[in-house]
A and B are shown apart, each in its own frame.
Chain A
Amino acid sequence: MEKISQSVREPLHRVDSRLKVTGAAKYSAEYPLPGLVYAVLVTSTIAKGSIKSIDSKAAGNAPGVLAVISHVNAIRPPGYPADNEHPTEPSTRGQPLRVFYNNKVYFNGQPIAVVVADTFERATYAASLLKISYSKEEHRTDFHAHRDKAVLPESAKRNPRSGLADYDRGEVDGYKKAAVKLEAEYEHPAEMHNPMELQAITVHWEAHNKLTLYDKVQGTQPTQQNFAREWKLPVENVKVIAPFVGGAFGNGLHNWPHETAAIIASKMVNRPVKLMLTREQMFFMVGYRPRTWQKIGIGASADGKIVGISHSSIGQTSSYEQFTESTLQQSKMMYTAPNVSTRYRILPLDLSTPIWMRGPGEATGAFALESAMDELAYLLKMDPLTFRLANYTDSDPEKKLPWSTKFLKECFEMGSKAIGWEKRKLEPGMLSDGHWQIGYGMGVGTFGANRGGAKVRGKLYANGSLVLQSAVTDIGPGTGTAMTQVAVDHIGISAKSITFQLGNSEFPQAGNQGGSSTVNSVGSAVIAACMALKTDLLALADKHIPEFKGKSLEQVVFEKDSIRLKDKDVSMSLSELMKKSGTADLDVIEEAKPGEERKAYSMYSYSVHFAEVHVHSITGRVKVKKVVTCADAGVILNKKTAGNQMIGGVTGGIGMALQEDAVMDHRFGRYITKDLADYHVPVHADVPDIEVFFADKPDYIVDPMGTKGIGEIAIIGVAPAITNAIFNATGKRIRELPVTPDKLNITRT
């Protein structure tokens, strides 16, 4: 239990850092294929209706233009269902919005044409020449005007045991009988995905039935399967390549209309095509954290025992897909409440489909739950940390199962000490420095310690070098680095002799990089591959080194690029062993899957964030002065990359709490904050000293490494830690994010 700077394990530097800082790392828009041409999207300027006409004459005649493609002339991917009545169906897997399929407009900013030209500039200019006329229909984009039209998602209707279905434990609305209770509403606006790298795809039809995509995605194989289905191709004929992804945060967990548009364009002009979205287009068609309204009723006995929690939420979705997320999960399992009710609803609007954004629904839900916990603690006149400890659960009250591991209490201890929680006053508005009011707040986060099946190939060469392969992507956490480290730990080959290759759908099976599951899933397969190689190596040793005859794996050690006997000073380097045995290479593909343990235990990662904020009493400016973030994420493989993730998550949480706001003008159903000058995310000067602590306790029930996952818990609970601190500083409770200076300025205590 130490700060990341005092790591017990020597953290490996990122294996690809040199490639990244020298520009040698290739991203999806950086494949200059022979004959490459450029596609630029034209998007709708109405929110609902149909296209009356497209005048493409000027665009078609502009210099360098190869094609102007729209529903008028587009080829149809053969995998599109033919049903004209229901052109879209709910699914977040494939391509439910059929691109250039008919003249219907479902949202403002929808791709309705694509112009292909020999240069990007010429395509851009020609795209500006298209004249489109619409017949408008009345659109619904205003969340509050239509909140009464929220529905239970189809998936919950079909499966009443789904996590999205109505949930009741104990008495419905049992909180109402509590001695001290609170009812409050919370809301945050849509937050737009804007990773540094814009969404981009390079499409290459290598043959009429063979498709290669260099695409910015979080899963090469899920994308491969989607487009194989859309184009009715054998899966093996679609290749998806994404070795580097410049940030994704959930944005790459869905395939989007621009990808299909580029594939159609490439097919029609019979040339490789590159399509990169503009920053403005990123705000319209590639997913966002949905605006969500929540209501919490929570009550406790006078001595601070929670009696009940009722938590309902409504999140927006599109008219053509039912996007859902686990907004209410934390309220079901975090505290020992005998009565818990949750109601999850979605509101279809004439907008594009949302998608998971880091710490997906849980970050949304935690904002409401952890704010309500803070509010109730004030009503109880209890310290919010004491209040949480009083309702700490040692087993899962929802699933009625033991936790695999839970070291949240240890995190509470480390974090409260590091932030100086004892300085916090129970009454708000008691601490100040000149015009700056000072406050402290906390927020708890949790996310499932997910794990899926995965395969890894391991190829050991005669020179002792090891190449590992997985189809998984690395969206920034340092997957190649962590996996190299797992291999070092399990086969004793030095890091410099290991190459972890990823981001190619032809490599062994892996799912999306999402839901904090990559290390748990792929790391387990790395161990399995190492185990298979060790078995093969021992067999070679058995044959070619007399001292190893008849030895079992338990009697040998793999370390320092060698195999050695445990009880005797006899060893041989792996390269020597390969040479001596005349082995050119050893090649294994191994699979690892979770098993029955998932039924016997409840598995979660946890985090707690403590914030110190200063609020200017005159101008309403908020400065986050310090954040201490503590994670129980199982064993930490690399404290440097894991620390990076926590710092990034907290930074995202600061943006959620104080800045991010996608503003829409509902008269047009069109976003008006659509560049990084108007849509704010934190700048360096907004990011304080962030101190990271890890419980660093292994959870061998989740997986053989003892890891639990970090990516999501880094942000879940950060926003309420900050808003709770703002209340502690000022006595002002802002329940609608983001907390901008004007809201604090206007709000009275």
Chain B
Amino acid sequence: MKQFQYVRPTEAGLAINALLKDSGAKFVAGGTNLLDLMKRGIEAPERLVDINRLPLKEITKNDQGFNIGALTLNSSLAEHKDIRKDLPLLSQALLAGASAQLRNMATVGGNLLQRTRCPYFYDTSMPCNKRLPGSGCGALKGFNRMHAIFGASEHCIAVNPSDMNVALSALDAIVQLSGPKGKRNIPIQDFHRLPGDRPELDSVIGKNELITGISIPTSALKHVHYLKIRDRSSYAFALVSVAAALDLEGTTIRWASLAMGGVAHKPWRLTEVETFLAGQQISAGLFQEAGTLAMRGAKAYEHNEFKLKLAPLSIGHALSIASGLVKA
């Protein structure tokens, strides 16, 4: 590993300054992704700015909803009693991610920024436009079983690996950023990007910006389920995942919120399906229709065609569970 400097500021302003001073600097929090990237030779920062001492670990609740510090651990957030009570979808999604050991280290801010798990991205001897712009997409004509069916480009077909992001998307979370030019808030749907011709950019975060927290508005969506289909029971990325949230009056859907994971470069919000569901009566048939509708515009590659079938089934099933039609 390349030698690097290590600093540990205690204030956000100092942290941002530390990054500004050095173009080869990176923030590190839990390090569950960055350290791997450094070991594999994908990242080689000159300086690591450890932000763990910044006061960004609070979870607060008010009338508008929740404010969650960027350094909140995935495990603390998942187990937080108000989150479990008011936002069980988020808790479920967090617990479906990674392993207990990783969740104990990983932070909310780091999870928002984790890089794709595309194997071509991780192997420096293979082409990858995300790692080395212009080198080509290894996955496009390679092994692409885990890859995108929505929103991909010829430059990149990788997916965002996070479970938390999928739930945050369905919950309309806001990402709070702080940088040299001040603070700004970005709705999660606008935070992550589609690859287009700049797949090296996962999100819209500025070069010297720091995620300080997220806010999640109070939600009337009380009937929720996070369904994750994976190759083993734990410590596996989603083949397909669905965050389903419903506001029900009896058996009538007042409003629905739906997002998918494992299918795109960003959490894939299904707004068209949400509109379709609003005002309808819950039924297995309706939910299956919703799944089919969600597949509009989907495009598969050589090894991920199964997702075209698995994804709509999963949407239907997640909605059935969320609405109480069937047991989990």
For B310, give its contact among A45, A663, A686, A745 (CB under 8 Å): A745
- Contacts of A621 on B, CB cut-off 8 Å? 229
User: Shortest beta-carbon distance, B107 to chain A, in Å?
Assistant: 19
Contact of B239 among A670, A675, A682, A741 (CB under 8 A): A741
Tell me which of B99, B143, B316 has the highest count of chain A C-beta atoms within 10 A of its own C-beta.
Answer: B143
Chain A: interface secondary structure?
loop
Scan residues 297-318 of chain B and give those whose CB is less than 8 A from a CB of chain A. 305-307, 309-310, 313-314, 316-317
CB <8 Å contact, B123 and A742: no
CB pair A686 B232 closer than 8 Å = yes
* Chain A, range 695-749, C-beta contacts under 8 Å to B: 740-743, 745-746
A125-B2, A674-B119, A686-B232 known; 12 new pairs, CB 8 Å cut-off, are A121-B1, A434-B326, A618-B317, A659-B232, A665-B143, A675-B122, A678-B119, A680-B231, A682-B232, A683-B232, A741-B229, A745-B309
Verify if A15 is at the interface (C-beta below 8 Å from B). no
- The residue of chain B having its C-beta at the shortest distance from the C-beta of A108 within the complex is B125
Interface residues of B in 118-165 (CB under 8 A from A): 119-120, 122-123, 125-126, 138, 141-143, 145
Decide if A124 is an interface residue (CB 8 Å cutoff).
yes
CB proximity to A under 8 Å, residues B201-243: 227, 229-237, 239
Is the CB–CB distance between A745 and B138 below 8 Å?
no
Which residues on the B side are within 8 Å of A128 (C-beta)? 2, 41
Q: How far is the CA of A444 from the CA of B65 in the complex (A)?
A: 58
Using Cβ atoms and an 8 Å threshold, which residues of chain A touch B122? 675
* Contacts A/B (CB < 8 Å), 25 sampled: A124-B1, A125-B3, A128-B41, A618-B317, A619-B229, A665-B138, A667-B141, A668-B126, A672-B119, A672-B120, A672-B143, A674-B119, A678-B119, A680-B232, A683-B233, A683-B235, A684-B234, A685-B234, A686-B232, A686-B234, A742-B310, A745-B306, A745-B313, A746-B306, A746-B309
Residues of B within 8 A of A740 (CB): 231
Q: Is B296 an interface residue when CB atoms closer than 8 A count as contact?
A: no
In the docked arrangement, what's the CA distance between A659 and B310, Å? Answer: 18
- Cβ-defined partner of B142 (8 Å) among A618, A667, A745: A667
Contact B239 A742 (CB under 8 A): yes
* CB of B255 to closest CB in A, whole Å: 25
B254 interfacial contact with A, CB 8 Å: no
Question: Which residues from chain B contact A434 at a C-beta distance below 8 Å?
Answer: 326-327
Number of A-B contacts (CB under 8 A): 93
* Contact digits for A643-685, partner B, Cβ 8 Å, 1 yes 0 no: 0000000000000001100010101101011110110101111
Q: How large is the interface on A (under 10, 10 to 19, 20 to 34, 35 or more residues)?
A: 35 or more
Among A620, A683, A742, the most chain B Cβ lie within 10 Å of the Cβ of A742
Residues of A within 8 A of B (CB): 45, 121, 124-125, 128, 434-435, 618-621, 623, 658-659, 663, 665, 667-668, 670, 672-675, 677-678, 680, 682-686, 740-743, 745-746
Which of chain B's residues have a CB closer than 8 A to the CB of A746?
305-306, 309
The 10 closest A-B pairs by CB, nearest first: A685-B233, A45-B125, A742-B306, A672-B119, A683-B234, A685-B234, A618-B317, A665-B142, A686-B233, A619-B229
Is B310 a contact of A673 with CB atoms below 8 Å? no
Q: Is B61 an interface residue (CB 8 A)?
A: no
Considering the chains assembled together, what is the distance between the CA atoms of A685 and B233 in angstroms? 6
| B4 → chain A closest CB, angstroms | 11
Instruction: State which residues 82-136 of B face A: CB under 8 Å.
Output: 99, 117, 119-120, 122-123, 125-126
Chain B residues near A125: list those with CB within 8 A. 1-3
By size class, the interface of chain B is: 35 or more
- CB neighbours (8 Å) of B313 from chain A are 618-619, 745
Q: Helix, strand, loop or mixed for chain B's interface?
A: loop
B contact residues around A684 at 8 Å (CB) = 234
A724 to chain B, nearest CB (A): 21
B317 touches A670 (CB 8 A): no
Q: Which residues of A contact B145 (CB under 8 A)?
A: 742
Contacts of A675 in B (CB 8 A): 122
List A contacts of B229 (CB < 8 A).
619-621, 741
Q: Which residues of A contact B305 (CB under 8 A)?
A: 746
Cα distance A665–B143 in the bound complex, in angstroms: 6
A45 to B123, CA, bound (A): 10
Closest to B310 in A: A745
Q: Please measure, in the bound complex, the distance between the C-alpha atom of A680 and the C-alpha atom of B145, giving whole angstroms.
A: 14
Residues B119 and A619 in contact, CB atoms below 8 Å apart: no
Q: Give the residue name and chain of the A residue nearest to B237 (CB).
A: A677
CA distance A450 to B142 in the complex (A): 44
Closest B residue by C-beta to A655: B232
Pairwise interchain contact B310-A677, C-beta atoms closer than 8 A: no
Closest to B125 in A: A45
A672 touching B123, Cβ below 8 Å: yes
Q: Is the CB of A620 within 8 A of B310?
A: yes
Residues of A within 8 A of B317 (CB): 435, 618-619
Q: How far is the CB of A419 from chain B (nearest CB, A)?
A: 21
Contacts of A618 in B (CB 8 A): 313-314, 316-317
For A620, the chain B residues whose CB sits under 8 A away are: 229, 310
- B6 CB → nearest A CB, Å: 14
The interface residues of chain A lying within 8 Å CB-to-CB of B3 are 125
Distance (Å) between the CB of B281 and the closest chain A CB?
21
Pair B326/A435 contact, Cβ less than 8 Å: yes
**Alpha-carbon distance between A226 and B135 when the two chains are bound, in angstroms:** 44
Neighbouring B residues of A745 by C-beta, 8 Å:
306, 309-310, 313
- Please measure, in the bound complex, the distance between the C-alpha atom of A128 and the C-alpha atom of B117, giving whole angstroms: 22
Q: B126 touching A663 by the CB < 8 A rule?
A: no
- Residue of A45, A623, A659, A667 touching B231 (CB-CB under 8 A): A659
Chain B contacts of A435 at CB under 8 A? 317, 326
Pairwise interchain contact A741-B119, C-beta atoms closer than 8 A: no
For the complex, give the distance between the alpha carbons of A45 and B229 in Å.
33
CB distance B138 to A670 under 8 Å? no
Q: Whole-angstrom distance between the alpha carbons of A620 and B227 in the complex?
A: 13
